[in-house]
A and B are shown apart, each in its own frame.
Chain A
Amino acid sequence: MKGLRWPICVLVVVLVTGLCAWNAAAQEVVIRMYGGYPFRTDGKMGPAEVLDMYLREYERLNPHVKVENLGRNLNVDQLINLYITGMMPDIIEIDVKFLADFYRLGMLAPVPEELAEKLRAELFPTSVNFITLAGRMIGIPGENMVTGLWYSREALDAAGVADLPRTVQELEELGRRLTKWTPDGTVELPAMIHSQGEWAINHMALAMLSAEGGRVYDEMGQLDLQEDILHRVLERLVSWLRPNSWFAADGFKREFDLGMVPFGIGYPWWIQGFDLYYPGEDYTKNFGVTLFPAGADYGAFMYAHGYGVNNRSEHLDEVWKLLEWLALAEIDGITPIGHMMATQGSLPNRPQDILADPYLRGRDIYLGFIENLNYARNTPDWERVNLGGAALRVANGEMHPVEALEKAINDAIEATRAHAEWLAAQQERQ
């Protein structure tokens, strides 16, 4: 019996050592995330490639963490199904309006208050507020887009215009003065364009609504459209959108890119068009962005994406640690998310990021949009109401103004009701 003691001891030591090694391996954390952007096929650095670069750096700094970037998934139904079946990744990137719904459905964990405090201190207030629901941040701000009034210095100089419009009356007056009409009233070259899509018209309509002191929902989420304000906004917008108005409901984007059209209501990503088509040496010398006199005040409309965290994640602490690093860590003067946004043509969320090299080209333009952030008073839910569609129906002659007001309100009620029903149905699925 005594002869067996040593072999048994050796066996015990081996087993204990093996168990320790197995345990160490089990402590490696794997975080799965929808990074929000597809990988490019042309070898260039897009936001997905930038994100991947930082994730690898994070893994280097945190050897026990492995992050799988699953690309993009914007399919709301699929994401809900993944959650129900327990397969939703730890992090999802999507439009904040959907994050808000996911949060209402109980799918997301709120940002820990300690991290939220840091974000409130470091990021633009609009970036934080936009992703805050009932006082809690529901995710980390990502893509940050806001409307602004683009202008072309060449077009304004050619018309002898020195001052940018500060009131909506001045904008309308300049618009008429700078539009080129044929004698029969057909527009040859308008004074202002937009992004060419009903959604873009809607963003503009909602910006005009807020400029007139209106809103879509109150603090409790109840529909709060005021008819007199709605009337003012729809009438003004329709009169602008009518055929042969100074504001082109369709087309002329290429002329804008060429510097020929004085004004445009658009987004930071229009820069991509200038890169392609502007004939001058440096588009940043010609194009600028200022505030949009949209009514009684300036107006802007914001939409944003964010990173939400699956509340069933097994590594919540590690997930928030990663997101904090992506949102706030400064590497060569910019945060990882800020670098992604610069590549995407989006505004940063951390003000200092604008000073870093990735934002060097077109920085003044981005600063113009940042000013507009001050006038973006909407919440993500506003987009549920399609005022732009109502305006377009009237402008295109499909509906008379007399019907439009009533229909816009009824449609808003219906959209709100349908959304509530959808939320309830999703709740039931879970």
Chain B
Amino acid sequence: MARRSIVLCAVLLGLLLAAQAASAQNYFSVVVLPDTQVYSKSYPQIFKIQTDWIVRNAAYHNIKFVLHAGDVVDSGATNPAEWENAKAALDLIDQAGIPLLIAMGNHDYDDLAQTRSSETFNRYFGIERYQGKPWFGGAFEPDRAENVYALFDVNGRKYLVLVLEFGPRDAVIEWADGVLAAHPDATAIILTHSYLHDDGMRTHEASEWNPKRYGLGGDANDGEDLWHKLIKKHPNVRLVLSGHTLGTGVARRVDVGEHGNLVFQVLANYQMQANGGDGYLRLLKFYENGNIDVLTYSPYTWAYKTDAENQFVIGDAGLAVVSGRVMNTVSQQGVPGARVTLEDVQGNVKAAVFSDEAGRYDLVAPEGCYILRTELSGYEGSAALVATPNAVCRPETLALRPIGVWAGTGRTLTGDLAEGTAADIVLMNERLAMAIAVTFDDPQLTGVTKGKPVDLAVTGQADAFDWILMPYLSLTQPTDWAVRTVRNTDVAVVEVTGEQAVVEASGVFTELDTVTVRTTYTLAKDRPWVHVRSVITNTGPEDVTLWVGDVMDNDDGTQVAIIPGYGTVTSGAAQVWTPEQTWIGQYGTSAQAFALVYPDRPEGFDAFGGALWIMSRIPVTIPAGGQYELNRYIVAVPTEGYAAKADALKEVVAHLITPYIWAFEEQAEVDVIGNDNTGATFALSQAVAGEGTYVLQVTPSGQAAETKIAAPLSGLAISKWTSGETLVIRAYLPPENEMNPARFFLGMADLTTGWEWVDGVFSTTEAQPGWNEIRFALTPKMRALNPDGKYMVYMAFIEAARTPLVQPFYIDHIWVE
């Protein structure tokens, strides 16, 4: 009887929980539609998907009203189809009875805001949309919809939504001032198309896309004006929403109003992204505790943006105000217009503001320890360490941020051999630095230095090079380094992100002007090499036969060349070499060594030169209208003893020449792998034909449910690992086996400072008897490895019912792609 009671209780508990599963929401939502102009013009279906989603999800998200941030259309009055598309989409919201307020953007004016003519906007989305609605409060002009307000009562709280035109006129601000003052008990949300810039500053005189730069008349106000003339004066203003600004299209800031209220200001605009914004909209969830969750969702791609600029919480908790005054130290007067910033210890600007007429500033930021900076043209800047009231500053926590990867002008390499000037481009990461000539003209490369490397060193060491002639072209086989034949006309930094920097040079072959050359230098974070890709294009009507290659001239003391198969070459006499592998190297007296590695193993590759300079030579025929691509890596590695310099290059070169992480071609690779206590044994085998000479034979113990390979991962193999997203095991499962593995698990532990689990993932590959490529989608944690770390990779092979495997199976190679 007692047993039955317990079971009954469990069932009753289930029913009770089910009854509680009512949708009692403690929030309501507001949807903000950022600029939709590209949808109206080119992707009307995406606009409709957005509004259809709002209607379908109104109950689910408890959506109380929708705000459009302006730029409903793109072409002003000139393209009626855009207006029809917009109306078809927005009508869905109106027809569902969901309140919709629309701010007017510059593109919504008849003449794109050359004047304030707004006939088309008012014809499609005029005041009649609002009239008669219980929530409609009023308009600045009774027959026009540019400036309107609405009042909502939600869960016993009043909300005022005030919609202001693009660059509001002074008279509009005066009207808005009265509206805000007349509803002091309503939390005010201000919606206007242009207000916040993507740098987090309100639009000001120097801002791009400032409304004052259109044709709206002298009394147009920008974001900074709106703040001072209207917003900061009212204690009930909580939120300001805007669009318009390009760049990243997202920003947010918080300021303290004159009455001590915090005002949150948010920019969102995705029009510059794929498909005119990929359908992203903002979903603001207003909670009873006053917090607002801001989410960015696309009903078109069914995806949320999760970065801190697109998913965040608006709330007062944990914020502090840093206030003060910027003073002219000579006149002892307040300085208006100075930019005052709070930076965290990593140098990220967390809040910024311009000082007001009296030099005063108020900055709002999360509690913490900051560097307070003040800057203004014509003044020396100042900086101070400040702590917010509830924070404790520990100056020792200030840290230098590693550069990651950098490219630009204004820097030079160090050392006597360094020739590049501040006008030349430096490519640099934590491992190597290289200067590429822009203006410097080397006496040996007169007229063709531009776009070529002129300085190269391991980061922190002195330059060791005179130059690298990269590439040369020749109609005959060159027998001297002086092949000054590729003249670049342009060289520029084309990409710099935290992950990689790219410099591109382009020019012509001086012996045949129908042949052009475009060379890109790519340096990635943490890599001791620069990937150099030259695309040689034959634009002429005939096939062209050429010799292509590079010449390296290391001028470090006691120069030595390295030729695979010949070892180190100390003689300066030039001769032809036939390297065993497609790379050449050089070093001198400093603690560094260099190589040029050609991973594509071009046919006919040889080397010419000696200790003083060495060049690669590759015969190529490029068909009329065709291209040839020369890939190579410039490698720079630190070394210890002089004798070990060639050895120092070995690991990097081997890494660049072979694409595999584990090739299982040498016993040494087998010696370092383990079985993670599963009893499996390993041996090199030629039992089945793999792509190389050997395969790894894995013999399970017959005792363990999982047969495992534990393989160490460190050094350069980590960069190979992190270069892709999928790990592939090429495995042979003998058809004659009674049982073969059917499930595959990949796990990883960090052994850098102990043993710490990183992550694991099952393969979705359904293996068949015979050869298989077993694929694992590496998880973010498995890809974000420390390049200097030590890891153990666990590969588990499991029978479908976890029955211990008995018979051997085989692994050819393992790589990441």
- Residues of A in contact with B (beta carbons under 8 Å apart): 37-38, 41-42, 72, 166-167, 169, 173, 176, 181, 183-188, 196-198, 232, 234-235, 238-239, 242-245, 248, 250-255, 258, 290-291, 293, 296-298, 333, 351-352, 354-355, 367, 370-372, 374-375, 394, 400-402
Partner of B761, one of A243, A250, A255, A402: A250
Contact indicator A245/B308 (Cβ below 8 Å)? no
**Closest Cβ–Cβ distance, residue B681 to chain A (whole Å):** 17
Known A198-B764, A374-B14; contact A245-B6, beta-carbon cutoff 8 A: no
**Closest Cβ–Cβ distance, residue A243 to chain B (whole Å):** 8
Could you pull out 20 A-B pairs where Cβ atoms are within 8 angstroms?
Answer: A42-B804, A167-B21, A167-B23, A169-B23, A176-B295, A181-B306, A181-B307, A185-B311, A196-B762, A234-B302, A235-B302, A239-B302, A248-B779, A251-B779, A251-B781, A252-B759, A352-B3, A355-B6, A370-B10, A401-B300
Contacts A181-B311, A185-B308, A186-B784 known; 12 new A-B pairs at CB < 8 A: A41-B702, A41-B803, A166-B20, A181-B308, A184-B307, A187-B306, A248-B779, A250-B777, A291-B14, A352-B4, A371-B14, A375-B18
Chain B residue contacts of A183, Cβ below 8 A: 307-308
Chain A residue contacts of B285, Cβ below 8 A: 173
Known A173-B293, A253-B760; contact A244-B780, beta-carbon cutoff 8 A: yes
**Closest Cβ–Cβ distance, residue B415 to chain A (whole Å):** 36
Chain B residue contacts of A253, Cβ below 8 A: 760
In the complex, A157 Cα to B132 Cα: how many Å?
Answer: 50
Q: Is B512 an interface residue (CB 8 A)?
A: no
Q: Is B397 an interface residue (CB 8 A)?
A: no
Known A239-B297, A291-B14; contact A196-B703, beta-carbon cutoff 8 A: no
Q: Mark B55-72, 1 if CB is under 8 A from A, else 0.
A: 010001100000000000
**Closest Cβ–Cβ distance, residue B794 to chain A (whole Å):** 11
Q: Is B25 an interface residue (CB 8 A)?
A: yes
Instruction: Please give me the residue from chain B that is nearest to A366 by CB atom.
Output: B10
Q: Is B81 an interface residue (CB 8 A)?
A: no
Chain B positions 1-27 with a Cβ under 8 Å from a chain A Cβ: 3-4, 6-7, 10-11, 13-15, 17-18, 20-25
Residue among B14, B285, B307 having the largest count of chain A Cβ atoms under 10 Å: B14
Chain A residue contacts of B295, Cβ below 8 A: 176
Q: Is B301 an interface residue (CB 8 A)?
A: yes
**Closest Cβ–Cβ distance, residue A347 to chain B (whole Å):** 12
Contact indicator A251/B761 (Cβ below 8 Å)? yes
Chain A residue contacts of B311, Cβ below 8 A: 176, 181, 185
Q: What 4 A-B pairs are tightest by C-beta distance, nearest first?
A: A185-B307, A371-B14, A251-B779, A185-B306
Chain B residue contacts of A252, Cβ below 8 A: 759, 779, 781
* A-B CB pair tally, cutoff 8 Å: 136
Chain A residue contacts of B760, Cβ below 8 A: 251, 253-254
Q: Mark B735-759, 1 if CB is under 8 A from A, else 0.
A: 0000000000001000000000101
In the complex, A250 Cα to B3 Cα: how many Å?
Answer: 40
Instruction: Please give me the residue from chain A that is nearest to B782 by CB atom.
Output: A251
Contact indicator A355/B10 (Cβ below 8 Å)? no
In the complex, A232 Cα to B299 Cα: how many Å?
Answer: 11
In the complex, A367 Cα to B308 Cα: how many Å?
Answer: 40
Q: Is B399 an interface residue (CB 8 A)?
A: no
**Closest Cβ–Cβ distance, residue B580 to chain A (whole Å):** 42
Chain A residue contacts of B398, Cβ below 8 A: none
Contact indicator A185/B293 (Cβ below 8 Å)? no
Q: Is B601 an interface residue (CB 8 A)?
A: no
Instruction: Please give me the residue from chain A that is nearest to B49 by CB atom.
Output: A402
In the complex, A14 Cα to B60 Cα: how many Å?
Answer: 88
In the complex, A257 Cα to B3 Cα: how many Å?
Answer: 31
In the complex, A232 Cα to B7 Cα: how many Å?
Answer: 35
Chain A residue contacts of B3, Cβ below 8 A: 333, 352, 355
**Closest Cβ–Cβ distance, residue A40 to chain B (whole Å):** 9
In the complex, A371 Cα to B310 Cα: how many Å?
Answer: 38
**Closest Cβ–Cβ distance, residue B78 to chain A (whole Å):** 30
Instruction: Please give me the residue from chain B that is nearest to A364 by CB atom.
Output: B10
In the complex, A72 Cα to B800 Cα: how many Å?
Answer: 12
**Closest Cβ–Cβ distance, residue A237 to chain B (whole Å):** 9
Q: Is B650 an interface residue (CB 8 A)?
A: no
Contact indicator A245/B761 (Cβ below 8 Å)? no
- Residues of B in contact with A (beta carbons under 8 Å apart): 3-4, 6-7, 10-11, 13-15, 17-18, 20-25, 56, 60-61, 285, 293, 295, 297, 299-308, 310-311, 702-703, 747, 757, 759-762, 764, 777, 779-782, 784, 801, 803-804
Contact indicator B21/A291 (Cβ below 8 Å)? yes
Instruction: Please give me the residue from chain B that is nearest to A197 by CB atom.
Output: B762
Chain B residue contacts of A184, Cβ below 8 A: 307-308
Instruction: Please give me the residue from chain A that is nearest to B701 by CB atom.
Output: A41
In the complex, A119 Cα to B37 Cα: how many Å?
Answer: 65
Contact indicator B60/A169 (Cβ below 8 Å)? yes
Residue among B11, B17, B22, B303 having the largest count of chain A Cβ atoms under 10 Å: B303
**Closest Cβ–Cβ distance, residue B15 to chain A (whole Å):** 7
In the complex, A183 Cα to B303 Cα: how many Å?
Answer: 18
**Closest Cβ–Cβ distance, residue B619 to chain A (whole Å):** 42
**Closest Cβ–Cβ distance, residue B92 to chain A (whole Å):** 15
Chain B residue contacts of A351, Cβ below 8 A: 4, 7
Chain A residue contacts of B4, Cβ below 8 A: 351-352
In the complex, A119 Cα to B532 Cα: how many Å?
Answer: 74
Contact indicator A290/B7 (Cβ below 8 Å)? no
Contact indicator A394/B17 (Cβ below 8 Å)? no
Chain A residue contacts of B759, Cβ below 8 A: 251-252, 254-255
Contact indicator A254/B757 (Cβ below 8 Å)? yes
Partner of A291, one of B18, B307, B761: B18
Contact indicator B10/A371 (Cβ below 8 Å)? yes
Instruction: Please give me the residue from chain B that is nearest to A238 by CB atom.
Output: B302
Chain A residue contacts of B305, Cβ below 8 A: 185
**Closest Cβ–Cβ distance, residue B397 to chain A (whole Å):** 18
Chain B residue contacts of A251, Cβ below 8 A: 759-761, 779, 781-782
In the complex, A254 Cα to B301 Cα: how many Å?
Answer: 30
Contact indicator A245/B306 (Cβ below 8 Å)? yes
In the complex, A291 Cα to B781 Cα: how many Å?
Answer: 30
**Closest Cβ–Cβ distance, residue A180 to chain B (whole Å):** 11
Chain A residue contacts of B782, Cβ below 8 A: 251
Contact indicator A401/B301 (Cβ below 8 Å)? yes
Partner of A38, one of B14, B301, B803: B803
Chain A residue contacts of B762, Cβ below 8 A: 196-197
Contact indicator B11/A374 (Cβ below 8 Å)? yes
Contact indicator A371/B11 (Cβ below 8 Å)? yes
Chain A residue contacts of B15, Cβ below 8 A: 374
In the complex, A290 Cα to B10 Cα: how many Å?
Answer: 11
Known A173-B293, A176-B311, A394-B302; contact A293-B10, beta-carbon cutoff 8 A: no
**Closest Cβ–Cβ distance, residue B315 to chain A (whole Å):** 12
Chain A residue contacts of B702, Cβ below 8 A: 41
In the complex, A370 Cα to B6 Cα: how many Å?
Answer: 12
Contact indicator A239/B308 (Cβ below 8 Å)? no
In the complex, A125 Cα to B539 Cα: how many Å?
Answer: 78
Instruction: Please give me the residue from chain B that is nearest to A38 by CB atom.
Output: B803
Known A41-B702, A351-B7; contact A244-B23, beta-carbon cutoff 8 A: no
In the complex, A20 Cα to B260 Cα: how many Å?
Answer: 107
Instruction: Please give me the residue from chain A that is nearest to B746 by CB atom.
Output: A251
Residue among B18, B293, B300 having the largest count of chain A Cβ atoms under 10 Å: B18
Contact indicator A297/B21 (Cβ below 8 Å)? yes
In the complex, A42 Cα to B679 Cα: how many Å?
Answer: 13
Chain A residue contacts of B11, Cβ below 8 A: 370-371, 374
Chain A residue contacts of B297, Cβ below 8 A: 239
Contact indicator A374/B18 (Cβ below 8 Å)? yes
Chain A residue contacts of B60, Cβ below 8 A: 169
Partner of A242, one of B25, B299, B302, B308: B302
Chain B residue contacts of A167, Cβ below 8 A: 21-25
Instruction: Please give me the residue from chain A that is nearest to B23 by CB atom.
Output: A167
Instruction: Please give me the residue from chain A that is nearest to B46 by CB atom.
Output: A402
Instruction: Please give me the residue from chain B that is nearest to A293 by CB atom.
Output: B21
In the complex, A290 Cα to B762 Cα: how many Å?
Answer: 26
In the complex, A50 Cα to B362 Cα: how many Å?
Answer: 74
In the complex, A243 Cα to B18 Cα: how many Å?
Answer: 31
**Closest Cβ–Cβ distance, residue B543 to chain A (whole Å):** 41
